[in-house]
Chains A and B, each alone.
Chain A
Amino acid sequence: MALTDDVVIAQPQTTTASWRRRSLLWQVAGYLAMAIVVLVIGMPVYWTVVASFKESREIYTIPPTWWPEAPTLANYVRAWNAAPFGRYYINSLITTIGSTAIKVVFAVFSAYALVFLRFPRKDLVFLFLLAALMVPREITIIPNYITVGSLGWINTYQGIVIPGAAVAYGTFLLRQYFRTLPREVLEAARVDGAGHLRILWSVVLPMSQPAVVTMTLLALVDKWNDFLWPLIITNTADMRVLPIGIFWLLDQEGVINWGVVMAGTLFVMLPMLLVFLWAQRYIVEGIASGAVKG
């Protein structure tokens, strides 16, 4: 999608013949690049979907088949019955929505404070946030486990959600966006007597819709696909989440039954795909509504 925009921008202003030819060339190149990107991103998805309808033996045959010889739903049945996926859906929904809500609230408030409030050493606070951004997640696992353990939260929803709730990238992303908002609009609101909360709710948030929606989507996907932390912090099957379900389908030592694994992967992928398709228009809408100055 971004590529189409580039192509439009690349259209020349002058209308001489050579320019027109060159513009056509650019357009062709643009579409070609787009086709490659679609292929690169789309192929694995296509492969996942097709493999989920194949029998295990067919997946292992070479040359690979582009279309299942005898399409079967058996993989879906096997995957669904192999692990309590229904329960995993509920757990994934609870932890993902909970964690995302907390992240968005934290990010919006902290970014607002960092941009619009006046307090000393603001730059230092931001530097701390950036430092937090640089810490690899793997390093924090053991300290977090010990903390959560001493709180008695092992194998609980709060144990899954809380340690990852305050993630710096949301604050960082929104701060950068808030800084681009036109100051005049905010000052006008202040003159009209709006307090901070009112300004945040009625002015900043509507104008920042694309950034907030983007950040929310990132947070959603991040938690939805999170594997290692939920695996480590939960013990029983009734507290586990979807990615652990897929991992359960992977045979560690023997021969992996890819059809079943792909079917399980689709269980996990589909909800996020739908959310993306639905949320996409709010990003575009937000970009359009941001153009008030023009």
Chain B
Amino acid sequence: MDRQITRREFLRGVAAGSGVALLAACGGGDTPAAQDTNTPVPADGATTAPAQVGGTGSTVNITYWGSFSDVLGEAERAMVESFNTSQQDVVVEYQYQGSYEDTAQKFTAALQAQAIPDVILLSDVWWFKFYLAQAIAPLDELAAQAGVDFSDYQPVLLNEGMRDGVHYWIPFARSTPLFYYNKEIWAEVGLPERAPQTWDEFGEWAPQLVQRNGDTMTRAAYVHPGAASYIAWLFQGVIWQFGGRYSTPEFEITLNEPDSIRAAQFFSDTVNEYRWAMHSTDINREFIGGQAASMMASTGALAGIERNAPFEVGVGFLPEERAFGCPTGGAGLAIPAGASAEKQQAAMAFIAFATSTDGTITWSQSTGYMPVRVSAVNDPKMQTFFEERPNFRTAVEQLPKTRAQDAARVFIPNGDQIIGRGLERIVINREDIERVWQDVTVELEEGAAPVLEDLEALRA
């Protein structure tokens, strides 16, 4: 992987760490075992020996719990390593903790056993739970000390992690849905080489894309995912496109409003009425295998799909109906509340590094996640990357048009699963929409009650 630490990045790291070094010099509480007078030299040899700020040479050791595996995991580990070699004040130990769900479950247990990490990666549906439990720290003061400029973060992403004007969750590995299509099939049936602008337009195209052998569909125009959480994320965009929403910000469930019903009816019709869509447990597989000509899927899958597809992959903004609608998703970084001020500052130094302009560029290019910094998008390095990967540029261009998800999916415990199972009943079992949405509403309201109580308690 291409990982270079520039002088600028390095200096910023030192600036971010200086406060920590001073504190460490005063407190001197945490003398780490890993303390080493020889600075580890990075493989690429890009780092110069950092100037000692505190002069005492004491380092703060912190742990970071991450949730990525395979290629993404390697990129995450590389990020931690390049932070460690960029400065001498903080040593981050990277610890892989399984999926987002595993990590959140372990964090729950760790809070009770008081064995918490110092930085943690939490997904869009989990961070709020820990905010309610007051388990994650407010970050504004720490960010100010570390010289983090919040105004340079993509507003839509940053504001999602904010409650009552206070930041708790810093965007890091953020993605959005994207419309993917198979250019080969598009050309075969003579469609223009672009994604459909509206669902109406796609409705006209779709029958041409379908192939049938007797009564069985051998190629679908579109594929829906089977996993509940995933379909509820993609449908979040669709319900907005139709003018509906899952809920108001005040947790009032609005699934049974006419436009929300219309959106669900459309999803069901694609499979049952128009019969040009299929559903699958692995939509990437169907798309790559040519079983489906198009799909909505995460931007996070773009690199893998381009690598594995035997055809040219096209992407575009999500289709519109009455309006454009596209949610954000993915994970961000938080700092557990229990740790000492010294460790929290060290944790913030790491977050500042990982979401710095250069950190963002490295991370985005190696993973396909959205660049969370505005300056990163405009950076020449990113622009060159866009030239090589025009599909990725499309994903980034869609970003300013996205918005944070409705409270019902992300803030109600298991809200994503509840909505997703409802959608499965509608699309797969062809159940009556109003009745299903009624059941889902009841379930969501039950789930929302304790959240509202907690919110009330927090305000008091």
Task: Given A57-B310, A253-B301, check contact A150 B113 (CB 8 Å).
Answer: yes
Contacts of A251 in B (CB 8 A): 69-72, 304
Q: How far is the CB of A112 from chain B (nearest CB, A)?
A: 36
* Chain B residue with the shortest CB-CB distance to A150: B113
> A249, B69: Cβ atoms under 8 Å?
yes
| Mask of B274-307 contacts with A, CB within 8 angstroms, 1/0 | 0000000000110011110000001011011101
Spot the interface stretch: A91-99, A122-130, A229-237: A229-237
Partner of A235, one of B63, B70, B288: B63
Interface class of chain B by DSSP: helix
Partner of B96, one of A61, A148, A149, A237: A237
A62 CA to B308 CA, complexed, in Å: 13
Interface class of chain A by DSSP: helix
Partner of A254, one of B63, B106, B301: B301
- Tell me if B458 counts as interface (CB < 8 A to partner A): no
Task: Given A231-B98, A254-B368, check contact A61 B310 (CB 8 Å).
Answer: yes
- Tell me if B127 counts as interface (CB < 8 A to partner A): no
A277 CA to B3 CA, complexed, in Å: 48
A228 CA to B71 CA, complexed, in Å: 22
- Tell me if B248 counts as interface (CB < 8 A to partner A): no
* Chain B residue with the shortest CB-CB distance to A245: B69
Q: How far is the CB of A247 from chain B (nearest CB, A)?
A: 6
* Chain B residue with the shortest CB-CB distance to A253: B300
Counting contact residues on chain B (CB < 8 A from A), the size range is 35 or more
> A154, B115: Cβ atoms under 8 Å?
yes
* Chain A residue with the shortest CB-CB distance to B300: A253
- Tell me if B449 counts as interface (CB < 8 A to partner A): no
* Chain A residue with the shortest CB-CB distance to B94: A237
Task: Given A62-B289, A247-B69, A251-B69, check contact A142 B108 (CB 8 Å).
Answer: yes
> B304, A254: Cβ atoms under 8 Å?
yes
Contacts of B308 in A (CB 8 A): 56-57, 60, 255
> A145, B100: Cβ atoms under 8 Å?
no
| Mask of B61-76 contacts with A, CB within 8 angstroms, 1/0 | 0010001111111100
Q: How far is the CB of B68 from chain A (nearest CB, A)?
A: 7
Contacts of A231 in B (CB 8 A): 97-98, 102, 106
Contacts of A244 in B (CB 8 A): 98
A253 CA to B112 CA, complexed, in Å: 29
- Tell me if B56 counts as interface (CB < 8 A to partner A): no
> B113, A255: Cβ atoms under 8 Å?
no
A253 CA to B282 CA, complexed, in Å: 11
A247 CA to B290 CA, complexed, in Å: 27
Contacts of A146 in B (CB 8 A): 109, 112-113
| Mask of A25-50 contacts with B, CB within 8 angstroms, 1/0 | 00000000000000000000000000
- Extra inter-chain contacts (13) besides given A62-B289, A232-B105, A253-B72, CB under 8 Å: A57-B310, A61-B310, A149-B113, A149-B115, A231-B98, A231-B106, A236-B93, A248-B70, A251-B69, A251-B304, A254-B70, A254-B284, A255-B301
Which chain B residues have a beta carbon within 8 Å of chain A's beta carbons? 63, 67-74, 93, 95-100, 102, 105-106, 108-110, 112-115, 175, 284-285, 288-291, 298, 300-301, 303-305, 307-308, 310, 330, 368
Give me 16 A-to-B residue pairs in the complex whose CB atoms sit less than 8 angstroms apart, sorted by A's number: A61-B289, A82-B74, A142-B109, A146-B112, A231-B98, A231-B102, A232-B102, A232-B105, A232-B106, A249-B69, A249-B70, A250-B70, A254-B300, A255-B307, A255-B308, A256-B284
Q: Which 6 A-B pairs have the closest CB atoms?
A: A255-B304, A149-B113, A254-B304, A253-B300, A145-B109, A62-B289
